[in-house]
Structure 1
Amino acid sequence: MIEFELPERYVAIRDEARALAGRIAHVAVEADAMSDAVHPEVLAALRDSGLADLVVPGAHGGRFDDVDPLAVCVAREGMMGTSAHLDSLFALQGIGSYAITRGGTPDQQAHWLPRVGRAEVLAALALTEPVAGSDLKSLTTTIERTADGLVVRGEKAFISNAGHAAFYTVLGREGDGWSVVLVPADAAGLSTEPSPEIIAPHVLGSVVLDDVVVDESHRLGEPGRGFDLVLSTLAVFRVSVAGAAIGLAEAALAEATRHATEREQFGRPLARLGAVAALLADSWTDLEQARLLTYRSAARARTDPLAALPHSSMAKLAASEAAGRIVDRCVQVMGRWGLIRDSTIERLYRAARPMRVYEGASEVLRLGIAKALTDEHAAGVR
């Protein structure tokens, strides 16, 4: 018999994450409204939970020998429905540090990864620039090797954890290629400022690198091979966005179902009215379809993340798009009660929209998925 349920180990991780989310639920509205500061109670709860150990390898205090995409995915599922702030803090620990896991020296790994896994320091990945988003090859940040070390010049924009991270893994152009360097937050010439506030507040900022000099030992991976590390990071963590989307959609559907069950109109509960019942039924169906694809894609990524990247992209695309449809229907089910500022459903509605943009906009993902399909066809795989 083919098993379609999560193994117990992953169910336990999801339950851990839900329990953590429950402990900070009383400050979720406050935390999710913060765009220029980290909520101290949420960060303290993440530290105490020990769940950040999921984003570093076992050799440096992690729970698994290698970072397990399915474990990260179900953890985000358990957090996102309660607090986007909590979900972001957890996810960025892995997204910001994975280049160290894959390309760091033993000294770099020993210095940073255990502290990341205990959430003692916050991590950040600096890719996006004012004029370079999906088209990363158009970025203008430069890395130059000099007698004094590596000189980094440029500006990064919309960087999660900017101003609060202990280090930034920075992608920049070096000669004819692109390289990644680890820049400590206290490096001379590095400064940060808040980014414009987005519809779902998030700790974001710009990072200015004004002739920042770091030692050659701060290089991550090989010179000119920076995109290898970026792809490795996406291969492990992109599918976790799908997990977060599932958690968000599930929370929205639970809230709408509660409302439709308790509220009566025309002499019966809303859930017994045909139009409302259709909205709920379509939403549940969307949710379970996305959940199955996400779990399967994350399980594939455990063994070969890069080979599974097209499936991770499919999961991110499907789940984030489904979350948008589901939460929109749920607002409709709740009518005026779904429009109240900082209500559960309103916060979820705002949080759902950016998920179709970050870590691969839906349109860009479709291009990559289609290319993988046609490449497989040309190779005779299908």
Structure 2
Amino acid sequence: MENVLFELPERYLTLQREARGVAAACADVAARADEADRFDPDVRSRLTESGLCSVVVAGEFGGRFAAVDSLAVTVVREALAFESAHLDSMFAMQGIGSFAISVGGSDAVRKQWLAPVGSLEAIAALALTEPDVGSDLRAIKTTVASDGGELVVNGHKSFITNAGDADFYSVLCREGDGYSLVLVPADTPGVSVTSPHQVIAPHVLGDVMFDDVRVPEDHRLGEPGNGFKLMLATLATFRVSVAGAAVGLAQAALEEALRHTSAREQFGVPLARLGPVPAKLAESWVEIEMARAMSYRAAAAAARDPFTALHLSSIAKVGATEIAGRTVDRCVQVMGRFGLLQGSKIERLYREARPMRIYEGSTEVILDSLAKKLVKDRAQVGR
């Protein structure tokens, strides 16, 4: 279905066509890749060949644009998620895992890692959560300390995307009374990975342990105690792209439902014209277009100024992921028993939609933050 209700500037339309081509090229392996717990080699080789990951690094390190552009990332993720969650995650995590290097890394670290990230030669990961720590990241127990010109990292990170396949981890640690991000190459002695968990929509996931891991002092990203600021910079740039991925997934679900209900007849008419089915299809289209428009608006604002647009990115993320959940649920319903078939595309989309409402800020946590901003802004207006 063509995007007729919102026109992007030409450079984004060109990028959108390019990303759709990459997604289409992965269609034959998407079902397999979306059940994988390690990088699918075909998806990786096709994404590498496309050069699309250059979108998530700055131009001085071989990136597509002078700076990482939130709207460009969002447009690409929408196209990739339409076909494969594995493909979308592979692309997105290159930026999410490496952005703190762009913002806070030393010249040597940036030169070493960012160009390989943009060419997909080096796989990035961001290690924040721990076995007992999710949204409350200030409760983390992983530590970093300076010792003889090196940084020593100890701790246990859990539910880390790309764990096991990553070439480096950007690790959030306690440092004294503050928090710092530290770049740890995956092959550093003392780094180990286990896979105790998998989620309902499988992807590359694992726990990462750091046992007296030593890295050079310049592997601290930014100043000591600056970890949360760097995390916020990553969030401000990339959170809105989750909305783009949710729109792409919802669009794919609607296409599946349209295909099925247009071809299947009951009581002498196509399902698409029977009873409540037309309203469910139309309601899904309405919500998808609303989510797409909000996602593009928020992403364009984030591209101009990520920090002042963070509330818009949060609104788009919540809105689009909730809409994706509702859309896929409606599509399963109108497809009846065929929407319940294990191994079908709609079943895969149903499972993939659910985690979107949790990762990169759960709906409830984001709504709480938005409510605080709403009340604060209102109080300032009333003064």
> Aligned ranges for residues 1-382 of structure 1 at < 5 Å?
4-35=6-37, 37-380=38-381
For 2:31 and 2:202, the matched residues in 1 are separated by 11
1:170 is displaced (CA, Å) by 0.3
Q: Which moved more, 1:3-12 or 1:289-298?
A: 3-12
For 2:121 and 2:311, the matched residues in 1 are separated by 33
| AA at the equivalent of 1:207 | V
Q: Which moved more, 1:231-240 or 1:147-156?
A: 147-156
For 1:364 and 1:284, the matched residues in 2 are separated by 27
| AA at the equivalent of 1:277 | P
For 1:202 and 1:9, the matched residues in 2 are separated by 31
Report the secondary structure of 2:276's partner residue: helix
* Closer, same or farther: CA 302–274 of 1 in aligned 2, 3 Å: same
Report the secondary structure of 1:196's partner residue: coil
| AA at the equivalent of 1:368 | S
TM-score, normalising length: structure 1: 0.97
Name the Cα RMSD after superposition: 1.2
Q: Is the 8 A contact 1:180 1:220 kept in 2?
A: yes
For 1:232 and 1:375, the matched residues in 2 are separated by 22
For 2:159 and 2:93, the matched residues in 1 are separated by 13
1:368 is displaced (CA, Å) by 1.1
1:378 is displaced (CA, Å) by 2.5
* Closer, same or farther: CA 275–304 of 1 in aligned 2, 3 Å: same
For 1:195 and 1:165, the matched residues in 2 are separated by 17
| AA at the equivalent of 1:19 | G
| AA at the equivalent of 1:99 | A
Q: Which runs of 5+ in 1 are unaligned?
A: none
Report the secondary structure of 1:162's partner residue: coil
Structure 1 segments of 4+ aligned residues over 6 angstroms from their partners: none
For 1:345 and 1:260, the matched residues in 2 are separated by 13
For 1:69 and 1:374, the matched residues in 2 are separated by 27
| AA at the equivalent of 1:359 | E
For 2:14 and 2:130, the matched residues in 1 are separated by 39
For 2:367 and 2:275, the matched residues in 1 are separated by 34
| AA at the equivalent of 1:262 | A
* Closer, same or farther: CA 204–314 of 1 in aligned 2, 3 Å: same
* Closer, same or farther: CA 176–89 of 1 in aligned 2, 3 Å: same
For 2:110 and 2:193, the matched residues in 1 are separated by 25
